[in-house]
Amino acid sequence: MNTSEQTLVSVVTPVYNGEDFLVECIESVLRQSYSNWEYIIVNNCSTDRTLEIALNYV
């Protein structure tokens, strides 16, 4: 089945000051075998490096 025939799956990660865990979380999503997905990280006004880490994956 090609990507255009697969259902789009949205993966959403809400995060607040999650710099200690965000890389592991993102890498886990990226390792999935399903190919038709979008990944949305919702940064809830973090005061640590959460935004910087997320932007490194854009």
Given a contact cutoff of 8 angstroms between Cβ atoms, the answer to whether 1 and 30 are in contact is: no
Strands 37-43 and 9-15: parallel
C-alpha dist (Å) from residue 21 to 3, 5, 18, 47:
30, 33, 6, 15
Q: From first to last of the 58 residues of the chain, give the pLDDT tens digit.
A: 666 689 999 999 999 999 999 999 999 999 999 999 999 999 999 999 999 999 999 9
SS3 category, 9: strand
Smallest CA-to-CA distance from 21 within 57, 53, 44, 58 is with: 53
Which tokens in the block code for residue 18?
């999650």
